[in-house]
Structure 1
Amino acid sequence: MENINENNTGQESNSAEIPGTSPGKMLREARELLGLSVMDVASQIKFAPRQIEALEADDYQRLPEAAFLRGFVRSYAKILHLDAETVLTALPQNKAVPAELIPGSVGEPFPDVNSVLRQNLNWLIAALLLAIIVAGLALWQFTAPPEQSPGQPRDTLVESPVSLPEEIQIKPEEPVPEAAVIEPEAPKTRPSTETEAPKRRHSIETDAPRTRPSAAAAQSSVEAAGTEASRVARQNQATASDTEPDASAPVISLRLEFSEESWAEIKDREGKILSSRIHAGGSEMRLSGRAPLSILIGNAPSVRLYFRDKEIDLAPYTRTSTQVAHLMLE
């Protein structure tokens, strides 16, 4: 009985000592006994070192609210192999949760982590939107020039053949009005001289010398007019012969194959446009005309030209800046 009483007395003395020991002191001594630093404990329980130091110093004003504080103490006691309930019992009930600490708890680790995550998420969304906008602008800039570049040579080529037929038509028309005006002048001069001569026959002899020179002048003007008319007629014949097609020029044939959309313009030796249009990819064109043939091809790398059953390499005749080939076939 005496031993039992002594044991009970020892237990009562130990239990009396526990309330006298602060939770912070119990945790600090256990940590030092295990040889752990504050940083070691902070890395295991995910709390800030300043909060661990505040708990060990029993400074509850710097600690979070009651729910977090009890979980904090449980985690700390667990890694130090202490009885968590014993440490929790030692917490002062009247100082556990001050009312004024509730607003300040926003700055503690858990709220800080959430705010950082939200902030990072906002920055990530803004960066993605900016990247999408930049990618859209870059795609528009890369795709816009290919749509416009083929259009420029097309406009130039459509305008150039229109002027050629006008020049050919104007040349034979210029001398025709001159010949028409000069040829009828000869008969007009003769009647005027003949009518004036009878009127003046009854005049005195002194008038005769005046009439004779005028008649001679009229005769010379008629001869000059006839000479000019014949010269103009010969010029008209020469011009007409130049514009007439040469029947002796050989007729040649060619074939064009288009792997992509391209345009082609072919003229014969007189400048007549045999074909001028856009060809779809996969199409083929066969053509014949009097040599030499002037050939103009847009988007030349996608076109194959065959002449006398042989393919002609268009690369030597192609401008790299415009991809337009120009050559003559005889």
Structure 2
Amino acid sequence: MEPLAKNEPEQTGVPEQALASGTESQEAAVVEQASPSVGCILRTARESMGMSIDDVVVKIKLAPRQIIALEADDFQVLPETAFLRGFVRSYAKLLQLDAQPLLDALPGAVVVNTVQAKVEEPLPTEKTSRRQNINLLSAALLVTVLIAVFAAWQNSTPQQPVATIDLAASDVASLPMPDQVEMLVASEVSEVIDVAASSPVVAPVSMVMSASTVAAAKTVSALRLVFDKESWAEIKDQSGKVLARQVNAPGSELRVEGVAPYTMVIGHASAVHLFYGEKPVDLSSYVNAGSDVARVTLE
């Protein structure tokens, strides 16, 4: 018996790739015939809005032949692609159409399909959790070391001793008052003069105040002003330093100390009582004629 012959495909002489490309071209042609063209969409929208070609010319300022060419898909008679896209965009805006699909359907248009990439976050695993724990522990250890170093540096920095003076109540009570100081200075100066006249001084044994220091100490004095009415007062000392410059309320007192001579300007002087070294000073002789302001200078 002869073996049965295997069924083999008939050789038509046409490559399979050519057949496949021909099939794709036919499918594309069918799809292209099924979808309306750019011109057809524009014409249909214009007619549905009840507009004529002349109405469109008036609105978008294009020539009638350009409108007719757009609706007939005769793009070869129109200007280059940039102007053509502008014509289609203006026409679509007038007809209240979305211009982007029409621009994508023009000849030579490149359609870019935007694919949004989905970024998937990796699920936490045991390895990533362990790594996060290690990072947290490392950060905590670093902070602890920094705190310890700072504390050690603070402890190693030498502290500057602060001098303190402890005075008992009896010592404070025994301190001389200003009047007593003046009396003691005068007596000490007289004693020093007597000792110097009787015997020569070999070496200074104690600190002796000079005559200028004594004079300066004696010129320090106090002023006291008592106000029966609201009054403004300005007081300056020998150097021109302002000791007081303020408005004083009725019934208040103002006390200042400084180096004479004093220069004062006192408002409402008739209602002010001035005491210099607790001795009253008559301000009536210092008041200017026609005003109640006294300008006083006390030596």
Comparing both structures, which one devotes a greater share of its residues to helix?
1
TM-score range, shorter chain: under 0.3
Normalised to the residue count of structure 2, the TM-score between the two structures is: 0.27
Normalised to the residue count of structure 1, the TM-score between the two structures is: 0.25
* Bigger relative contact order (CA 8 A; separation at least 6): 1
